[in-house]
Chain A
């Protein structure tokens, strides 16, 4: 018989009482800079992501103001190119990658009952590499002399197709800042991924078998494995680009027999799995939030794990669906049509499982749950437009139109950003010891939801009407005027919602309700330690017997380990 009465160590607060020492500001700052603690690094990642979501969001608003009416002069054509390039690069690399490692760093060791990440110093190194990459990218605004000899940010699009990136067509250093920033961030990301894999595989507490790991940890493990083979091709391609630009190489130089197409292949071999790298942690957050607020264990845990691994594998073989219009052979087209449609199966399994988890549950509509529920439905729509675009002839019609923009923003915002918010509302109490305001949270949710749909639902239609992406203005007689104005208004509503969120983060830190250890009555190990957790995490090593160790602790008469395989 298992001894289920063994308390989970962290539930005992053995922190020695000691007088509050007030450190000077410099000491406090120094403490954050030299820290190797996974919780502090997780916070740094999150702060970094939130700062850049505001910056990237401001860039998006600038783009939308420019496009609100035809023949607008809010942005110059050059600045417009810089804005959409920086918006894309920022949101993918400085927000997406940072948020996933922020949550991962903070939560994974706590969820598996570990003291820290496997390699704390590598962890700090990875963060500062990524942070440096971000600074490098943004320094280009003042340091990168671009076209027309003025200070310039990268303006080649976040996909940076050759031969536009060649020295002849992108003089100056703007493109170099872009390439170098991505190489530097790539090393940071690789370090973090290695660390995450080692942590999840080698530091689990006693009794936590792989099939008892919380789903969020599973998702982070799979994401990190995917990063190993996803970010590295980008790094390789960026090294080639740098060789072309600085040493006069010919990788992507069509004048010397090089191929511009091979850049597209290399970029999308990175670029498509990258989308799954960003969305899988979002699935992980939803898989933690939805059960807790439905008061039910997750439905079909093994199927969820299998679907995750399935998505990771399939995602490596779909990249050329970004390239249907370059004229591949029909065999090539068919292969990528079918492999892309295959993604629908594991993601469909996930959607069914989330719905089945909610089904018959005692649902609590708190802010995290609202965001997670909205995510499920938006993700479904995003998946359906994805299947449409996977059909090559359909893609020939709509490639590079706003329909594509609408589709991938439905994933990036409707799935990832919604779960980013869900995760922050869910775990903020753990990290700070204070609840986020529910009232402001509800305002944030509803405004953001409305703004999101006003913007991105409408974008599908303007795409159908033939509006191409990456244009800085358009003629008034194309029938796009009203729709563009609506899209821009939705963008501004989203902007207001995000500002409410930022205000909520700040004011709740000082005036939020005390959270206590376990404000949501949740089931995973991180809720067994005080909020915020002490530096050592768990006073004694925890031991688990099921997927919901805290349920076992709270319900000794009916523990999970009696039922789980």
Chain B
């Protein structure tokens, strides 16, 4: 125990941004949800009592994956633009991010359409169907939620309501999008590489 008194008056009092803290907390919580679904998927690999199996019906969605992962880069470029107040460029990169996200969703939709109508795999068919649609569907749900928030920002920025002053909020939102992309890497590895 030292008896040296000291003053905090001179030092600036800086605390972490509440938005970032909250988003990181949300991401930790969401990661736990995904972990449980991933564990269930891995645990049930090869335990289905009937077909179809992943080897028979799953194609690796390379184009989709490239789209989703590059959207992380485009949203990062958008973040850089808004920091410097270049709103036109920001809107352009932001819109491109959304397009890439939508392409990914459409790709997933086509994949599911093929699985359901051509291969006859539904959530009810076997354990593979149950775990596959749940895990990929959980991720797709997050993409949908992300796209809803991205489109709100796009509407606001097209109507001129987003300025450089909102750069921190935009970055907090972008954190979520990076998370959605990061989770896809895990889902992709588990479903299309390990499980196939």
Contacts and interface: CB of A to CB of B under 8 A. Distances in A.
A229 B35 CA distance: 10
Given A202-B21, A207-B13, A228-B25, A249 B5 contact: no
A299 interface: no
B161 interface: no
Interface string A246-263: 011111000011110010
B44 A232 contact: no
Contacts of B28: 225, 228-229
Interface stretch (B104-112, B127-135, B162-170, B174-182): B127-135
Contacts of A231: 29
Contacts of B6: 2
A2 B7 CA distance: 4
B64 interface: no
A240 B15 CA distance: 39
B3 A562 contact: yes
B149 to A, nearest CB: 15
A370 B92 CA distance: 65
A256 B22 contact: no
B40 interface: yes
Interface string B32-69: 11011100100110011100000000000000000000
B84 interface: no
A1 B1 contact: no
A157 interface: no
Interface residues of A, number: 52
Interface residues on B, range: 35 or more
A564 B134 CA distance: 53
Interface string A312-336: 0000000000000000000000000
Contact of B25 (A197, A237, A247, A257): A197
Given A257-B44, A257-B48, A562 B22 contact: no
A301 B127 CA distance: 51
A229 B29 contact: yes
B40 to A, nearest CB: 6
Interface stretch (A188-196, A287-295, A373-381): A188-196
A206 interface: yes
A397 B94 CA distance: 62
B159 interface: no
Nearest to A118: B18
Query: Most B CB atoms within 10 A — which of A228, A230, A240?
Result: A228
A-side interface mostly: helix
Given A201-B16, A228-B29, A256-B49, A3 B9 contact: yes
A509 B35 CA distance: 48
B123 interface: yes
Contacts of B116: none
Given A202-B18, A228-B29, A2 B5 contact: yes
B5 A562 contact: yes
A225 B3 CA distance: 34
Contacts of B138: 239
Given A197-B25, A257-B44, A233 B33 contact: yes
Contacts of B43: 259, 262
Given A2-B6, A202-B18, A233-B36, 17 more contacts: A194-B29, A198-B22, A198-B25, A204-B15, A207-B8, A225-B28, A228-B25, A231-B29, A233-B35, A237-B36, A239-B134, A240-B40, A240-B134, A249-B123, A250-B127, A250-B130, A564-B1
16 contacts: A2-B7, A3-B7, A118-B21, A193-B29, A197-B25, A199-B18, A204-B15, A228-B25, A229-B29, A231-B29, A232-B36, A236-B32, A236-B36, A239-B134, A256-B126, A565-B2
A311 B22 CA distance: 23
A345 interface: no
Contacts of A148: none
A198 B15 CA distance: 10
Contacts of A563: 1, 3
Contacts of A248: 123-124
Contact of B123 (A201, A206, A230, A243): A243
B17 to A, nearest CB: 7
Contact of B22 (A197, A236, A258): A197
Among B26, B33, B138, residue most surrounded by chain A Cβ atoms (within 10 Å): B33
A563 B4 CA distance: 8
Nearest to B7: A2
A469 B61 CA distance: 51
Contact of A251 (B1, B30, B130): B130
Contacts of A257: 44, 47-49, 126-127
A266 interface: yes
A262 B25 contact: no
A469 B7 CA distance: 59
B29 A561 contact: no
A232 B19 CA distance: 21
Contacts of A1: 5, 7
Given A119-B22, A201-B16, A202-B21, A258 B32 contact: no
A264 to B, nearest CB: 13
Interface in A499-545: 543, 545
B26 to A, nearest CB: 6
Contacts of B21: 118, 197-198, 201-202
B37 A202 contact: no
A203 interface: yes
Interface string A537-565: 00000010100000000000000011111
Contacts of B3: 562-563
A85 interface: no
